[in-house]
Amino acid sequence: MTGPAPIALTCGEPAGIGPELAAKAWDTLRGTLPFVWLGDPGHLPQGTPVARIDDPAEAAGAALRALPVIPHGFGGPAVPGQPDPSHAAHVIAVIEQSVAMAQAGKVAGVCTGPIHKKALKDGAGFAHPGHTEFLAALGGVDRVVMMLACPALRVVPATIHIPLAQVPGALTASGLRDVLRITHAGLRRDFSIENPRLAVAGLNPHAGEGGAMGTEEIDLIFPVIKDLQAEGMAIIGPHSADTMFHPAARARYDAAVCMYHDQALIPIKTLDFSGGVNVTLGLPFIRTSPDHGTAFDIAGTGRADPASLIAALRLARDMGAARAATG
């Protein structure tokens, strides 16, 4: 049979909620959205029906009766909440394996389970600042963009995990231009939006109100917008961030580009706490992930909510189909 290729779901940190969410997601989706889990079957909750497969092409058939798994032995059980240093190298190897499968066209995209950076650093000398940077290195690209998506909103923070005091200094015209271009290209290629409309937030309250409360809008953001408009991009702003997220405003754009982490995260979490999906644009393969961490505090209790992972799998499937259609 030749359906669309499945999505590869990596196990992430096995001491976190990744494995139990994979089992829950399969239980919800069954055969409707084929994905294959990469990890140690011994880390899944007891009683999870598992179909061990070798080739992702078998996933669609197997998913009707069990969670399709391409096994990767970690050499020992996972204790919820307590990462095992000897597992770190395996967590990394699983990510590498999923990327290799995506690059070879055997899977339509990669959905990554949450990792624990410190555990990987302590256990295997993991030197990348985060999951996304590691994937960029594997994909051979310098610059990627993080986008968060839920049905009501897509947001892109132009700066991410830095202190608020460093945000103004970290914003540069070339950096902002890259973020806007990658976002624009990603929406075209992976979201089937022919002419993506971008809205850009100001940095300051009321978008600076004509320079009265900060001049970054005038000196930096507006010139970048004008340059890209001249290239033909549908891009508007800088807008006052507090009035660009209500329904009527959202109807005017396909993605909002924000200047800092919380400017992007506050609106999306307020609109949809559990359904947000993290998307990496600019990679040579599709990558999504749920918008939560390893949640060691509730790992193993069965309380973790699979909504974000399910949304991430669905979005990876849709993005894979869009990319296949646009070539």
Residues that bind another protein (CB under 8 A): 160-168, 203-206, 208-209, 212-216, 241-243, 245-246, 259-263, 265-267, 269-271, 273
> CB of 309: closest distance to another protein in angstroms?
18
> CB of 249: closest distance to another protein in angstroms?
10
77 or 205: CB nearest another protein: 205
168 or 223: CB nearest another protein: 168
Residues 6+ apart with CB under 8 A from 107: 5, 6, 7, 8, 36, 56, 98, 101
> CB of 258: closest distance to another protein in angstroms?
10
182 touches 281 (CB < 8 A): yes
> CB of 243: closest distance to another protein in angstroms?
7
Which neighbouring-strand residues pair with 148? 155, 278
69 or 144: CB nearest another protein: 144
DSSP state of 12: -
229 or 243: CB nearest another protein: 243
> CB of 225: closest distance to another protein in angstroms?
18
> CB of 264: closest distance to another protein in angstroms?
9
Two structure tokens written together for 19 = 């494995």
Two structure tokens written together for 252 = 């005017």
Element containing residue 180 per DSSP (H, E):
helix 173-191
71 or 175: CB nearest another protein: 175
- Taken in order 242, 247, 248, 250, the sign of the CA dihedral is positive
86 touches 102 (CB < 8 A): no
> CB of 158: closest distance to another protein in angstroms?
13
Which neighbouring-strand residues pair with 147? 279
178 touches 322 (CB < 8 A): no
> CB of 35: closest distance to another protein in angstroms?
28
Give buried/exposed letters for 243-276 (b at 16+ CB in 10 A, else e). ebbeeeebeebbbbbbbbbebbbebbeebbebbb
- 3-state SS, 125-161, equals CCCCCCHHHHHHHHHCCCCCEEEEEECCEEEEECCCC
